[in-house]
Structure 1
Amino acid sequence: MTTTAVLITGTSSGIGRAAAEHLSRRADLTVYATARRTEAIADLASAGARVLPLDVTDEDSMLAAVKTVEDHHSHVGVLVNAGYGEYGTIEETGLDGVRRQFETNVFGLARMTQLVLPAMRAAGSGRIVNVGSMGGRLVFPVGGYYHASKYAVEAITDALRFETARFGIKVSLIEPGLIRTGFGEVAARTQASSSTPDGPYAALAAANGEQMRASYDSALLSAPPQTVARAIEHAVTARRPRTRYVVTPAAKALVHTRRLFGARTFDAYLKLQYRNAA
């Protein structure tokens, strides 16, 4: 039986891991799960995935991973690009951390895309699924640099979708809302390390931390990663995949509110949410 090769970046945790577990259950897909340290994803092999080392900030590592898949399947049938988030205010966040986040979320995504496209074009088919965020459509305070990386993913995906359509390549963007993975903990930890308790943004950072904890704990506002994995499955397998998949009802409400009512209304909403930080 011929299967479609699916290469997923960042499967050691979160959405990437959920996608690898979910897609590995399909007999028509051969899933390549990747991470910097393969011991972190060794259990995915028992779930049916093939495990590869991949660091999307390292050129040799990216070349080797793509070559491995192409050697077995002639081309990568589907590339799923995931990412991560670090939080902190614009003034206080160290730019080394900002560069590290852009290296993974933007430049790593772009380079992996460049590497798989020649063989996809030669085959006349392929799919690229980029995991963005509702945070690529609207911005919350204390997350500006993370949001900037996701806005960049929006732009890259929109351009790529048009550029590659004539070669039979379909491109989709996944825009999750709050997903109950380790994302919230990483965001809280990086936010705490980037600010000082007696600094000018201390009240805002504390309010943001409380907002994140309450939101991720809410079954109404957040969802499990399997919800995103199902959206990714649709983008991977549907005959006519959507250009965008906004995941969770709360994310859809926020995205449409921001789009319809503009910046002033959204700023007013944020002032209500962060009123204790004023």
Structure 2
Amino acid sequence: MTKTILITGSSSGIGKATAKHFADQGWNVIATMRVPEPSTSANVLVTRLDVQDSDSITAAVGTGLERFGRIDVLLNNAGYGAYGLLEATGMDKIRRQFDVNVIGLLETTKAVLPHLRAAGGGTIINVSSIGGKVTFPLGTLYHGTKFAVEGLSEALHYELAAIGVHVKIVEPGFVNTDFGGRSFDFTNDESLTEYQKLVGAFLTRLATDGDEPEVVAEVIYRAATDGTDQLRYTAGPCAAELLAARAATDDATFLGGIEAQFLERI
């Protein structure tokens, strides 16, 4: 039978590219997003799913199963980046960052697990980031969530092996998406003058060319189909270069290099 993937955050960027890639390979695709967009593809179901809305998660899983009869792969892709000064950030923003990037991922996973268990197997792929292995200034919240995704995924891969489910982590680097736009939430308070040179240095370096989302989609497809127990997949040359540098150096050297990129501008 034709396999089915459910993807969160499919309206743009990595999610949209991945939905297209899987559909082109003949898969059924449940492409979910907060505001559904029309689709004319017979093997693509576009439906609403907001990872902060429990009812929408349940409904999307149910609608997908009703349409295609099965879910073989879950791609937890929905997320965004909250950056900025912790001192200036309200608790509502702090909670939202973790609700979307961590709690929503866990709740969507829980909604799909009974079906994977009944089927005797499947795959869950969680989109992490190089930001789950290395950090940059002003990324306390975003990096906190991606480090959490790394840890929970690694622990889950032991747990879900008991029901034949593979857990995979995909780690993109800088990707040419709207991360600097609607998927980026920056908080500053110019009255906190002591931080402003760091803020300026960070924003100057924010415009960095990256890999195309289609590159990440291809890695996600490999993770879904390679039939191995491999846990982590580096997605794209940008990620490979930075993660290799992190693995090859001690904390003092690597952190010193990051500081040199930002703090020397202050």
Fold shared per TM-score above 0.5: yes
TM-score by length of 2: 0.93
Q: Please name the residue that 1:50 is paired with.
A: 45
CA distance in 2, matches of 1:208, 1:176: 20
1:94-113, aligned counterparts within 5 Å?
94-113=90-109
| Comparing 121-130 and 244-253, the one that deviates more | 244-253
User: How many residues are paired up?
Assistant: 265
CA distance in 1, matches of 2:21, 2:196: 40
Out of 200, 211, 216, the position equivalent to 1:223 is: 211
Question: Larger % of helix: which?
Answer: 1
| Distance verdict in 2 for CA 1:238–1:121, change over 3 Å | same
1:11-90, aligned counterparts within 5 Å?
11-27=10-26, 29-38=27-36, 41-42=37-38, 44-46=39-41, 48-82=43-77, 83-90=79-86
| Amino acid aligned to 1:84 | Y
CA drift of 1:198 comes to 6.2
Where 1:149 maps in the other structure, the secondary structure is helix
Q: Please name the residue that 2:200 is paired with.
A: 206
What are the superposed Cα offsets for residues 206-263 of structure 1, whole Å, 9 maximum, x if unpaired? Answer: 11111111x23xxxxx111000000011111222263111122232232232233232
| Distance verdict in 2 for CA 1:144–1:31, change over 3 Å | same
CA distance in 2, matches of 1:178, 1:45: 31
Identity over aligned residues, as a percent? 39
Q: Following superposition, which runs of at least 4 residues in structure 1 exceed 6 angstroms of deviation?
A: none
1:1-278, aligned counterparts within 5 Å?
2-27=1-26, 29-38=27-36, 41-42=37-38, 44-46=39-41, 48-82=43-77, 83-186=79-182, 190-191=185-186, 193-196=187-190, 199-213=193-207, 215-216=208-209, 222-240=210-228, 242-278=230-266
Where 1:91 maps in the other structure, the secondary structure is helix
Contact 2:211 2:237 (C-alpha < 8 Å) held by counterparts = no
CA drift of 1:74 comes to 4.3
C-alpha RMSD of matched pairs (Å): 1.9
- List runs of 5+ in structure 2 lacking aligned partners: none
Contact 1:57 1:108 (C-alpha < 8 Å) held by counterparts = yes
CA distance in 2, matches of 1:96, 1:250: 32
| Amino acid aligned to 1:195 | D
TM-score by length of 1: 0.89
Q: Please name the residue that 1:219 is paired with.
A: none
CA distance in 1, matches of 2:15, 2:65: 21
What are the superposed Cα offsets for residues 43-75 of structure 1, whole Å, 9 maximum, x if unpaired? Answer: x44485211111111111111111122234444
| Amino acid aligned to 2:30 | Y
CA distance in 1, matches of 2:72, 2:131: 28
What are the superposed Cα offsets for residues 14-51 of structure 1, whole Å, 9 maximum, x if unpaired? Answer: 11111111111122x1001111111xx32x44485211
| Distance verdict in 2 for CA 1:183–1:197, change over 3 Å | farther
